[in-house]
């Protein structure tokens, strides 16, 4: 077969397969409509009233299924289901050869916000007609509306849906905001985060207060929260402090040094940061919090256990941005950073050295008392006490090493 014949043959083959594909598509569509035909006819020949009612919790409902004589069945042969569960016969009533009713009392809230399915069936189980029941309550006034701005660039708000919370039917919440003295009311549009939260990503003014509130509505009513007034600068939070570093303090077995950087997103803002530190031992979930870290970017943890792994986190509160007099909002905690304290040197334990002199014994007793006092009063990040404590600890360790070296040289 020459090239021209081969090309013509391939073209005819492609055209045949394309026509065959179209025929298969048409056949599938026809079969689909044939399968739906009985249901379409039944829907045309039977109907439930009322159709898709909205009811308060505790209400009663009487629904009627009316069938056409064309079905050649009587209402006495019908039965009802609610959410797929067959209803008791004593709830039915035959009103006429073509009408069957069912009565439901003390309705509970809908099991799904899309409505409960009330269905009228033929005796063989075929669905004749259906109605969605929306049983719930009107929304209550949203409460606990709080908002925060990350680095003055955006606004996030969170609220609770009222004391009862659940309305059982679809309820829409809209966060609204506007400049207090002028400006057009706007709707927040990003509800993709946590439930009952909304996010405004941009186009926010500073040095001008906003009014913010939440409106809730469903088919049974509506309610609005209290209006809160805020300035973006008064509700600023920031990112967790970066580059948290935890390290040992020489050979001191009961201390660790913690340092970190200021939040970079606020480096161009006039503000005073406040920091908190928390730490825990590796085998525990209980955190100890240091509230007095102040605005410094380093801290010394004292009174720790020797030879122990500690996890440390830091968070920041940006205070007084551009002169705001409101307390800021704490950032999230930084990722955990781990470090271990040195173990206690026990090389001298078990040696047969003579007892120290009475002078050294008295001195050690006094230092032990001083150690207890310092440990009690140096908790946190107090620089002056820590420096004194460090000096004492270094002196004590040097004295112990000198004493051990003297003993070793004496033995040799």
Predicted confidence band of residue 273 (pLDDT cuts 50, 70, 90): confident
Residue 195 has pLDDT above 50, yes or no: yes
Strand-by-strand arrangement of the 236-237 sheet: 197-200, 155-160, 143-150, 236-237
Report the chain's mean pLDDT, rounded to a whole number: 80
Q: What is the pLDDT of residues 58-84, one digit of tens each?
A: 999 999 999 998 888 999 999 999 999
Closest Cα to residue 112, out of 166, 179, 162? 166
Whether residue 50 has a cis bond before it, omega within 30° of 0: yes
Burial classification of residue 165, based on how many CB atoms lie within 10 Å of its CB (0-12 exposed, 13-18 middle, 19 or more buried): exposed
User: pLDDT band at residue 267, thresholds of 50, 70 and 90?
Assistant: confident
In CATH, the number for domain 46-136 is: 2.60.40.10
Domains 46-136 and 238-340 are alike in CATH topology: yes
The pLDDT, as a whole number, for residue 182 is 83
Domain range 143-234, its CATH number among 2.30.40.10, 2.60.40.10, 3.40.109.10, 3.30.1330.10? 2.60.40.10
Tokens of 371: 């150690």
Please calculate the CA angle 20-23-29 and round it to the nearest 5 degrees: 145
Do 57 and 135 touch, CB atoms closer than 8 A?
yes
Does residue 113 or residue 277 have the better pLDDT? 277
**The pLDDT of residue 270:** 65
What is the Cα–Cα distance from 11 to 156, expressed in whole angstroms?
61
| Radius of gyration from C-alpha coordinates of the chain | 38
Lowest-confidence pick of 1-5, 367-371, 378-382: 1-5
Task: Show the 3-state SS of the chain.
Answer: CCHHHHHHHHHHHHHHHHHHHHHHHHHHHHHHHHHHHHHHHHHHHEEEECCCCEEECCCCEEEEEEECHHHCCCHHHCEEEECCEECCHHHEEEEECCEEEEEECCCCCCCCCCCEEEEEECCCCCEEEEEEEEEECCCCCCEEEEEEEECCCCEEEEEECCCCCCCCCCCEEEEEEEECCCCCCEECCECCCCCCEEEECCCCCCCCCEEEEEEEEECCEEEECCCEEECHHHHEECCCCCCCEEEECCCCCCCEEEECCCCHHHCCCCCEEEEEEEEEECCCCCCEEECCCCCCCEEEECCCCCCCEEEEEEEEEEECHHHCCCCCCCCCCCCCEEEECCCCCCCCCCCCCCCCCHHHHHHHHHHHHHHHHHHHHCCCCCHHHHHHHHHHHHHHHHHHHHHHHHHHHHHC
Q: Report whether CATH 1.20.1440.120 matches the domain 238-340.
A: no
Extents of the domains making up the chain: 46-136, 143-234, 238-340
Rounded CA-CA distance 356/205 in Å is 73
Structural tokens at position 87: 């209803």
Handedness of CA 146, 264, 290, 333 (dihedral sign): positive
Q: What are phi and psi of 109, to 5 degrees?
A: -60, 150
- Note the pLDDT tens digit of each residue in 300-326: 999 999 999 999 999 999 888 877 878
Residue pair 261/311 in contact by the 8 Å Cβ criterion: no
pLDDT at 384: 40
């Amino acid at each position: 077969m020459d090239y021209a014949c081969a090309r013509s043959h391939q073209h005819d083959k492609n055209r045949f397969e394309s026509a065959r594909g179209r025929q298969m598509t048409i056949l599938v569509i026809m079969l689909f409509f044939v399968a739906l035909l009985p249901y379409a006819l039944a829907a045309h020949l039977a109907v439930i009233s009322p159709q898709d009612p909205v009811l308060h919790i505790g209400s009663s409902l009487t629904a009627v299924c009316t069938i056409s004589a064309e079905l050649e069945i009587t209402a006495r042969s019908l039965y009802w289901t609610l959410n797929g569960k067959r209803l008791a016969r004593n709830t039915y009533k035959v009103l006429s050869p073509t009408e069957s009713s069912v009565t439901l009392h003390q309705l509970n809230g809908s099991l799904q916000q899309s409505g409960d399915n009330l269905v009228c069936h033929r005796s063989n189980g075929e669905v004749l007609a259906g109605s969605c029941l929306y049983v719930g309550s009107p929304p209550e006034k949203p409460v606990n509306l709080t908002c925060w701005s990350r680095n003055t660039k955006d606004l996030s708000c969170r609220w609770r849906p009222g004391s009862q919370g659940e309305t059982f039917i679809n309820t829409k919440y809209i966060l609204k905001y506007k400049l207090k003295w002028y400006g057009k009311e706007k709707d927040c549009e990003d509800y993709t985060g946590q439930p009952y939260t909304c996010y405004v990503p941009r186009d926010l003014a500073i040095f001008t207060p906003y009014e913010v509130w939440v409106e809730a509505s469903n088919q049974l009513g509506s309610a609005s929260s209290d209006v809160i007034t805020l300035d973006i600068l008064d509700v600023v939070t920031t990112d967790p402090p970066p580059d948290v570093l935890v390290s040992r303090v020489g050979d001191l077995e009961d201390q660790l040094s913690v340092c970190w950087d200021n939040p970079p997103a606020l480096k161009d803002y006039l503000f005073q940061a406040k920091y908190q530190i928390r730490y825990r031992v590796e085998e525990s979930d209980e955190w100890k919090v240091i509230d007095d870290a102040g605005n410094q970017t380093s801290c010394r943890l004292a009174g720790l256990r020797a030879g122990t792994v500690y996890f440390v986190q830091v968070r920041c509160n940006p205070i007084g941005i551009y002169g705001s007099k409101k307390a800021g909002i704490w950032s999230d905690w930084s990722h955990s950073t781990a470090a271990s304290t040195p173990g206690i040197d026990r090389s001298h334990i078990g040696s047969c050295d003579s007892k120290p002199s009475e002078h050294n014994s008295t001195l050690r007793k006094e230092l032990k008392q001083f150690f207890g006092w310092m440990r009690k009063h140096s908790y946190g990040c107090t620089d002056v006490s820590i420096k004194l404590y460090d000096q004492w600890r270094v002196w004590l360790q040097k004295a112990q090493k000198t004493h051990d070296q003297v003993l070793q040289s004496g033995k040799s």
